[in-house]
Structure 1
């Protein structure tokens, strides 16, 4: 299920000086299964993955980081949307999280600052890798190995900047290693267009030089499909419809992915790295190492209760507005929303357990609910072993459908409709006849609404909804209809530039509109 790329203690002394100098306290590497564990005899240099692993794996480690894909990530991408509520108890999370849910976000918000530092830390690891390959150039390696390592670094950097530009808008463009790291604090902001240009360049390069797939012992590493998939979303966000369609089609025509994995399977441990998966952040845990090789992602969203039902913080709960958006009998609802028991109705988990009475919230995110046998295996309830799905194949298909429809013309609209219906066909498997019937419209506007609905339901609680309603220009209506009257797209589509970063820059950085 997971493949271990953890460097053993026996090898660590060999790399200790390099790691201390390069990764500033980094202790973990990309996770893979024990049968792939490295030691002095089988560490893959110069064979295997390549000689620059000692640098690039630090960036993969940061992808698992608390400030990259855990706390602030969940709050800023999901709790901020109309599909999710903060959950837990009324005061839990304090002003940081409460204002992310209800607006406006404060300029001293700790989660916003943590995201800023987390993603720039990730970007610095990538810049260091590129520096080691192109500037320092002390490692003897083939040109192919160099290009592949640069491609991995540029993929992760491009993804990091894509997150930053959608979260904050104008951010500093730092695409090189600074001799004096403190000088980074005084780099002025670039326009979103300049950042998007860098992202496109990074991801295009990555798609050209990354492999279509890796040996299984390196599962979780970036592929050309992942690079093209994120690039398609970058184009879609900028309304570059033809480029989005063509790039999504590259992934669809690669033969590496399909919709064969049942929806109910995708999100459990057995569904990790399936044919549905285009890019996942890898987590791992066992009875001896419960957290250090994993991700505090499922735990933050886990059921908040007592004894065996103490699975996490209880944050990021599906909203009543998401609940109401499902069509009748849509099986995806049961896989997404975990209901807790009431005196009249038992709440049953995806694995058949009955939830207890008296839990703080009526609903939890079922997509991060862990398998009971895995909890027993690890002797832990907090799910650090769960992967984070960053990009799924259904997302690619729906991006293709959206871009095709926006291009207009009978052929494009038909291509969009056909693609949309393949996602619905997978979703209705096993449901009563007539559930999720194919869309038959040829009207562009009507099909646009259908595609937007499908993205909301298919990708519910998967961190796309907020960015989608912003780029569609419907955020004010969506958020106000969801009972968030303080939301103003003119201000709240972006987070504030953290005041701590403005202070560090000696006011070189300037605040976003409305804060």
Structure 2
């Protein structure tokens, strides 16, 4: 059973004020590099060639990088609270807020629980404001297609935000509009999960209906039909709506637009290794990924601190970040013998008697504060040098990927039961294991059981090792 935060509060006036100024860095360019995409008025992807609502919807995309949405509180609530991770850093760092998240229970005054609340309602406000501008701003002329697509983007992000809130807090106020009366917005009653989940489903269904199946390469990072289908599959699975979850996951798998990440031809990287490097951002495995970028002249403005707060806390050339959210011994022991994902997920540090890990030609040193760090956020030294920073603000955050969808399909199919569904579940599970073993048939053999209970445990195990340190374990 998952424990919700014991947090009961009203919405602060600063969270969803109609007069809130929507101004953000990068409204002209949501993503700054050619690799990640540029959004300019003259080549905006909507019909007619112009983006009349870009300043509003890009505000929502930009807010995904907010410190209170996908950084410190997010790591504590979704990872450190699970058995996959420890607090990390130094014993005193993070204070009582971190210790509560790591050890339970979480009190109503916990700073991270409060900051997440504020962050996600700030994100929801950006989405509600976008929808308001589309529907009410008579000074903007746009086709119906443009309006529907803009609203679809906003409703996807809003649905995702409420999905996070309901899983973290349980009962939360349901805000789907802007308020001109601060008193009214400050007294919205809490809605139950039974009321919240249909709303989330409606938002994501609308998004699925009106989002494009893909964007031009220079607009990579914007949400798609497949992203909505994948997120909806997870929403259904969370509610144990097995048939709906299976169908939605299958729609992604059979769309022909997604698959396991493929390294460039001639690369010596495995698919799983490539997936978590900068070169693997926005790969064919990605359904929903928070975009970030940095350069020597703009090292942080369009980035996110997600990597920095988890990176190695050392000295000199090995001082990359704050050192939080370190893989637990329990996670390290969960992998089967020879599973390559263990070494790609966990960065082991050197000890006086045993070498750690060599990554990008560098051996982890002796004397670091923690024995393990999250290798999935370890950034390329050449990019660090070009940016002039070791903090990793430029690394994207993977929220939803194809392997997750495949394992959701497997879980839903197995829970539905019946010989055909159990066979389909086992085949999906084995496809994930096949990618992981990378052609080495001496490791990770196929699962062969036909027993529903045994297969259930195998799928749960696979989710843990495939998605280690990716914020699913606590909810799973």
TM-score normalized by structure 2? Answer: 0.91
- Could you say if the C-alpha distance between residues 232 and 341 of structure 1 is closer, same or farther in structure 2, counting changes exceeding 3 Å? same
Residue aligning to 1:320: 329
Aligned to 2:205: 204
Q: Give 1:177 deviation, angstroms.
A: 1.1
1:196/1:372 CA distance change after superposition, 3 Å:
same
TM-score, length of structure 1 as denominator length: 0.84
What corresponds to 1:458 in structure 2?
Answer: 466
1:342 aligned onto 2:366: no
1:74-473 aligned within 5 A: 74-181=75-182, 183-261=184-262, 262-431=271-440, 433-468=441-476
1:33 aligns with 2:42: no
SS for the counterpart of 2:362 is coil
Secondary structure, aligned partner of 1:289:
coil
Is the CA contact (8 Å cut-off) linking 2:44 and 2:50 kept in structure 1?
Answer: no
CA–CA distance in 1 between the matches of 2:69 and 2:340?
A: 31
Q: CA RMSD in A?
A: 1.7
Unaligned runs of 5+ in 2: 1-17, 263-270
Secondary structure of 1:316 counterpart: strand
Per-residue CA deviations over 1:316-364 (Å, capped at 9, x if unaligned) read: 0000000111000000000000011111212124323111111000000
User: In 1, distance between residues paired with 2:287 and 2:44?
Assistant: 26
Aligned residues: 448
- Give the corresponding residue for 1:503: none
Instruction: Give SS of 2:431's match.
Output: helix
Distance 2:366 2:231 in 1: 42
Q: Deviations over 1:229-254 (max 9, x none)?
A: 00000000000000000000111111
d(CA) in 1 for partners of 2:50, 2:260: 29
1:442-466 deviation line (CA, Å, top 9, x unaligned): 1000000000000000000000000
Partner of 1:76, secondary structure, is: helix
Structure 1 residues 355 and 56, CA gap change in structure 2 (3 angstroms): same
The whole-number CA distance in structure 2 between the counterparts of 1:37 and 1:410 is 49
User: Cα distance, 1:406 vs. partner?
Assistant: 0.2
Q: Is the 8 A contact 2:261 2:274 kept in 1?
A: no
Name the CA distance, whole Å, in 1 between partners of 2:39 and 2:82: 42
Partner Cα distance (1:62, 1:292) in 2: 12
Distance, in Å, in 2 between the alignment partners of 1:25 and 1:85 is 37
SS of alignment partner, residue 474 of structure 2? helix
Q: How far did residue 27 of structure 1 move?
A: 2.8
When residues 355 and 107 of structure 1 are mapped into structure 2, their CA distance, relative to the original with a 3 A threshold, is same
Aligned twin of 1:70 = 71
Q: Which has the higher helix share?
A: 1
State the shift of 1:184 in Å.
1.9
Query: 2:304, 2:25 → 1: CA distance?
Result: 14
Counterpart-to-counterpart distance in 1, 2:242 and 2:155: 23
Looking at structure 1, the residues matched to 248 and 93 of structure 2 have their Cα atoms a distance apart, in angstroms, of 42
Structure 2 contact 41–51 (Cα < 8 Å) conserved: no
User: How far is 1:144 from its partner?
Assistant: 0.6
Q: CA deviation at 1:129?
A: 0.8
Counterpart CA distance in 2 for 1:203 and 1:293 is: 27
Name whichever of 30-39 and 123-132 sits farther off. 30-39
Q: 1:43 to 1:316 in 2, by over 3 A?
A: same
2:341 and 2:39 mapped to 1: Cα distance? 40
Instruction: Give the conservation status (yes or no) of the 8 Å contact 2:34–2:218.
Output: no
* Mapped partners of 1:260, 1:136: distance in 2: 42
Q: CA deviation at 1:43?
A: 6.2
2:97, 2:453 → 1: CA distance? Answer: 38
Indicate conservation of the 8 Å contact 2:261/2:283, yes or no: no
Runs of 5+ in structure 1 lacking a partner?
A: 1-19, 469-515
Equivalent residue of 1:370, what SS?
A: coil
